[in-house]
Amino acid sequence: MTMEHGEDCCVKVAVHARPLIGDEKLQGCKDCVTVVPGKPQVQIGTHSFTFDHVYGSSGTPSTAMFDECVAPLVEGLFQGYNATVLAYGQTGSGKTYTMGTACKEGTHVGIIPRAMAALFDKIEKLKNQVDFQLRVSFIEILKEEVRDLLDPATVAAGKVENGNGHAGKLSVPGKPPVQIREGSNGVITLSGSTEVHVTTQKEMTTCLEQGSLSRATGSTNMNNQSSRSHAIFTITLEQMRKADPIMASDGMPIEEMNDDYLCAKLHLVDLAGSERAKRTGSDGLRFKEGVHINRGLLALGNVISALGDEKKRKEGAHVPYRDSKLTRLLQDSLGGNSKTVMIACISPADINAEETLNTLKYANRARNIQNKPIVNRNPIADEMKRMRQQLEYLQAELVLARGGGVGSDDVQGLRERISWLEHTNEDLCRELYGLRNHVHSDPCEPELHKTVSGYTKGEGLKRSLQSTEPFDVLMTDSVREGNPKDIDDEVAKEWEHTMLQDSLGKELNELNKQLEKKESEMKGYGHDTVALKQHFGKKLMELEEEKRAVQKERDRLLAEVESLNADGQTHKVRDAQLQKLKTFEAQILELKKKQESQVQLLKEKQKSDEAAKKLQEEIHFIKSQKVQLQHKIKQEAEQFRQWKASREKELLQLRKEGRRNEYERHKLQALTQRQKLGSSKED
């Protein structure tokens, strides 16, 4: 899972003081707990404690507890934060009442049922934008054994036996016990416990009820329904954002979920009674259970001490999570990745004063624990993020491949035009050669006529020639009669134009080739450089974290070895520890090497980034040159066209003049004839 640091936050501690209950009143107990009005402060005897909240016994009304302590945690689930609510206190202090673990319809609504309601309310609001998956598990730790309260076999057995009026029995033969596992990422999971997929609040409530039925209960002196086990009801909320951007029904975007996938767990823990074993007043089996209960709570106390002591925490002191199943399971909730609330339940009765004081002291220490809740994503979300980045990059590359904003159609059109112009140039060139030869060496009329008529490709020229056809004779005459110097000029001009177009075309070809080469080179750098950089950066950070973790573990071992030395323990144990130490040293070295190689890779990446940038600039330069050249070719062709047109006009003028001349000649001839006739008449 990817982890992102959220704000540091302490474990919040609230006190829930219940009123005196029937038995206590009957025994004539007195209320020995005072709540300072308007302050979250509890006084018992000469002791005074301040908490985050105090509920009941004239503190804040208990009804505010859910909104102030638990509702924010339920909200946090939707942002990917794990959460834990712990109920602590002696048997009969109201833990089960507070949590609502033994949920019965029509009775007081505890934290668990209210959390469910809040959860489903929110899901209902978001279900159009987000896909939700809910799972629940319900386990119990009794005598250091984890029991699955939702195991279908247990549930069935519990039902049947309950039907017979007996309490649900314990283990189901043949079923492997539930194991606590720690993944490579440090996440604690239970293997072998049932996770029930639920879609409605009703289904979730059924799970809670069935689990509660299976829960082992027995009687002690203190409470005939007292629980000697820790019960953990866990809700897992998975969220997958739907394809479209998240919008609320009013059209406003919902900001709560910025990720595609989030997963968070809410642990609701009803701890076993915190009273000391001697107070259970029982011996034999029951007493043994008492000792076992204390093992979990003792370990919890030690964990709280280790985490709550700022000095110890700064020194990186060992936290004994592994001393009990309970603390292992709650590892993430205490000093780890969870927002945690502890509710210390107390009885106000004077006969419980000693236990109440113990509870308040215990709870007070828990306030110093700093948690570091982080958003839980999963690798799928990371992969999706990466793929989205790649998609963006590919889209950008596609635009680039199309010629930096010029559409591929444009490029194709330009290419066709260029090749057409090149062909035209070639033909013109050939034509001019022919013309020049005829004009200079053998200006023979019929052949010149044939050559010019045979011309097909120079469109402008062809048109002008067609228009002259009725004046064929005149035209050839006028050409022949034209000033030889003019003809020379014309041929020279056309020749110059052809050569220029030819060389410009070649230049353009050259540029195109260069551009192609550079662009294919550029493809060699075809990676999302930003994504790659981020990837390397992240890798480095991960390695650093891993290194630190290994170093920490090594230091811890070192300390252990030292203490073993001091204790004069057997060589065997010490050697084994030393061996472990060596492997850690080797691991650290390995990690350092990895880190260095990553740094090297990062450097190389930077270099290649620079090269790619340079190449990109070159491509840009070539493109601008190309545009200039194309412009030049067009301009030159246009100039030539204009010159040609004016030349044709001149020719036309000449032809007209030729006809007039002929007409004049005829006229003159006629006149002369007439004059001749006239003079003969006179004769």
The annotated binding site for ATP is made up of: 89-96
User: Which residue's Cβ has the minimum distance to Mg ion?
Assistant: 96
When the beta carbons of 154 and 227 are compared against Mg ion, the nearer one is: 227
Collapsed DSSP state (helix, strand, coil) of residue 190: strand
Cα distance between the two ends of the chain: 133
Residue 240 bridge partners (DSSP): 131, 261
Binding range to ligand ADP, per CB under 6 A, among 85-93, 195-203, 496-504, 536-544: 85-93
When the beta carbons of 346 and 369 are compared against ligand ADP, the nearer one is: 346
**The pairing of beta strand 3-5 with beta strand 130-142:** unpaired
User: Could you tell me the smallest distance in angstroms from the CB atom of residue 161 to ligand ADP?
Assistant: 21
Cα–Cα separations (whole angstroms), residue 507 to 102, 200, 631, 634, 635: 88, 74, 13, 14, 16
Q: Which does 3 bind (CB under 5 to 8 A by kind): Mg ion, ligand ADP, none?
A: none
18 is a contact residue toward ligand ADP (CB under 6 A): yes
Cα–Cα separations (whole angstroms), residue 575 to 362, 570, 587: 38, 9, 18
For 66, which DSSP code? I
Counts for the chain of helices (H) and strands (E), in that order: 19, 18
Phi-psi category of residue 174: left, alpha or beta, with phi > 0 → left and psi -120 to 50 → alpha: left
475 is a contact residue toward ligand ADP (CB under 6 A): no
97 is a contact residue toward ligand ADP (CB under 6 A): yes
User: Could you tell me the smallest distance in angstroms from the CB atom of residue 204 to ligand ADP?
Assistant: 21
Collapsed DSSP state (helix, strand, coil) of residue 630: helix
Binding range to ligand ADP, per CB under 6 A, among 91-99, 348-356, 538-546, 555-563: 91-99
Q: Distance (Å, rounded) from C-alpha 256 to C-alpha 362?
A: 36
Q: Distance (Å, rounded) from C-alpha 5 to C-alpha 376?
A: 10
List interacting residues with Mg ion (CB under 5 A).
95-96, 227
21 is a contact residue toward ligand ADP (CB under 6 A): yes
Q: Which does 62 bind (CB under 5 to 8 A by kind): ligand ADP, Mg ion, none?
A: ligand ADP
For 404, which DSSP code? T
Binding range to ligand ADP, per CB under 6 A, among 95-103, 363-371, 645-653, 661-669: 95-103
User: Could you tell me the smallest distance in angstroms from the CB atom of residue 345 to ligand ADP?
Assistant: 6
Q: Which does 577 bind (CB under 5 to 8 A by kind): Mg ion, ligand ADP, none?
A: none
User: Could you tell me the smallest distance in angstroms from the CB atom of residue 337 to Mg ion?
Assistant: 27
40, 76, 92, 290: which one contacts ligand ADP (CB under 6 A)? Answer: 92
93 is a contact residue toward ligand ADP (CB under 6 A): yes
342 is a contact residue toward ligand ADP (CB under 6 A): no
Residue 30 bridge partners (DSSP): none
Structure tokens at 493: 């001009």
- The site for ligand ADP, by CB under 6 A, has a size of 19
Binding range to ligand ADP, per CB under 6 A, among 14-22, 160-168, 371-379, 578-586: 14-22
19 is a contact residue toward ligand ADP (CB under 6 A): yes
59 is a contact residue toward ligand ADP (CB under 6 A): no
95 is a contact residue toward ligand ADP (CB under 6 A): yes
94 is a contact residue toward ligand ADP (CB under 6 A): yes
57, 62, 327, 338: which one contacts ligand ADP (CB under 6 A)? Answer: 62
Structure tokens at 255: 């900001």
345, 381, 452, 622: which one contacts ligand ADP (CB under 6 A)? Answer: 345
Q: What b-and-e string marks burial along 601-614, b requiring 16 or more CB atoms within 10 Å of the CB?
A: ebeebeeebeebee
Cα–Cα separations (whole angstroms), residue 175 to 154, 192, 593, 625, 674: 10, 9, 46, 79, 142
When the beta carbons of 111 and 432 are compared against Mg ion, the nearer one is: 111
218 is a contact residue toward ligand ADP (CB under 6 A): no
Q: What b-and-e string marks burial along 639-653, b requiring 16 or more CB atoms within 10 Å of the CB?
A: ebeeebeebbeebbe
Site for ligand ADP in 219-258 (CB under 6 A): 223, 225-227
Binding range to ligand ADP, per CB under 6 A, among 30-38, 92-100, 478-486, 509-517: 92-100
Among residues 507, 520, 509, the alpha carbon closest in space to that of 619 is found at 520
Compute the Cα dihedral for 135, 136, 141, 142 and give only its sign: negative
Letters for 271-290 (x = contact with ligand ADP by CB under 6 A, - = none) are: --x-----------------
Q: Which residues of this chain interact with ligand ADP, rule CB under 6 A?
A: 18-19, 21, 56, 62, 89, 91-97, 223, 225-227, 273, 345
